Chain A
């Protein structure tokens, strides 16, 4: 390189951003040219100066778990806001069939995985928060359940992307038995059996009066569950159903625990906020599945 290095080249040389060939040319030039050697030294000094002022402090520890909880909760809050608007315009009757079709189109593996992974995070945040708030009172929350929730990896729904095609194929070749084996409702019954001694999450029946905002969620959930039931067997493939039921169980325990704390501290806005987030997550999950169910039902 015969010509002197301009400031950009000099900087790129300093940062090791030149090609191999350019690097050695620049090095040869700097070695032979006093002006460029001086400029390089000055640039090095200034770079060190800037770096010292804005160096990331290695001593500071990154609060991973705190960040995970609060970001999970914040995302849930965000979703609660948008989805509540959605729900109001749809009147909770889940009637907008076009809307649900477009929902199905969004049901890509990525979005399902992102969504399901998020669910686990949100559920954990909610559980953690609820248990934390339990001042003085021993939590009845089952430790095993926490551990299991904690072990939940980002829950990719296997093959969720193929779902659409499979549903379509099933419909096209007419192999779909009408109202065949209601696996969903069977398993729903079964899981209701398992949870027999738990209080069901439908709350109008007992305990303190329904918290503000809660009723809307319950109505929505009931309507979504109805839709899913109508979808029957074709709604979810078995592998997907396992994921779905696990997520649902996590959310249900989150709702149960948060609700208990919220009922004791009805004025605590944080707790009720978390409860609403938990409801919201459940609505989201059911919505995804209900979208599938509507398509499945259409095929019959």
Chain B
């Protein structure tokens, strides 16, 4: 490989080049999509995902000074996003309102003798998601965060940095978290 080709490779890795701490505005522009999607994948509701995204960026605003390296911003944001989304789910399932609303809506929809198929399929999907979330809640930290950050596309190195872990342990934490998730989900699903 020629020296130039090596240079081109290095240049194409954004983290190695862009390490200055971004401004708040830059951080928003670069990362709000990833944050919103990460939140959405857990809360499954656009309005709630917006709430989570706002909370995450407010936290960034308050901590921007302590994040000196631009490389750290994305892992940090995604970690805060998944934590905040999990807290949102937790407080929401405590009140239980949305789930009940949905059940009520689905019941009304299928009231007229074999209701619309779309609603039922949607309801089934919702139930699955609810169960998956309940299973996820029982996976212990830091396994759960490892799983979620991996799911959001972070590298082991980024995960290690975001969670203050040893990079060498990330693989087995993901593996164990995943197994635990499968086990708990099987139990929850089995109750149906």
Contacts and interface: CB of A to CB of B under 8 A. Distances in A.
Interface stretch (B34-42, B97-105, B113-121): B34-42
Given A11-B172, A54-B41, A75 B50 contact: no
A43 interface: yes
Nearest to B128: A53
Q: Is the interface of A mostly helix, strand, loop or mixed?
A: helix
A53 B131 CA distance: 9
A60 B49 CA distance: 11
Interface string B133-161: 00010000000000110111001100000
A85 B148 CA distance: 39
Interface in A112-170: 113-114, 117-118, 120-121, 154, 156
Contacts of A12: 156, 170-171
B21 interface: yes
Contact of A60 (B37, B155, B174): B37
B91 interface: no
A63 B178 contact: no
B74 to A, nearest CB: 15
B88 interface: no
A60 B156 contact: no
Interface residues of A, number: 41
B25 A121 contact: yes
Interface string B61-99: 110100000000000000000000000000000000000
Interface stretch (B1-9, B11-19, B51-59): B51-59
Contacts of A9: 171
Contact of B175 (A11, A75, A78): A11
Contacts of B169: 8
Interface string A43-77: 10011011101111100101110111011001100
Interface of B: 21, 23-26, 28, 32-33, 36-38, 40-42, 44, 46, 49-50, 53-54, 57-58, 61-62, 64, 128-129, 132, 136, 147-148, 150-152, 155-156, 168-176, 178-179, 181-182, 185
13 contacts: A7-B171, A8-B169, A15-B150, A17-B170, A53-B136, A54-B148, A55-B41, A56-B38, A56-B152, A67-B50, A67-B54, A110-B21, A118-B25
Interface of A: 6-12, 15, 17, 43, 46-47, 49-51, 53-57, 60, 62-64, 66-68, 70-71, 74-75, 78, 110, 113-114, 117-118, 120-121, 154, 156
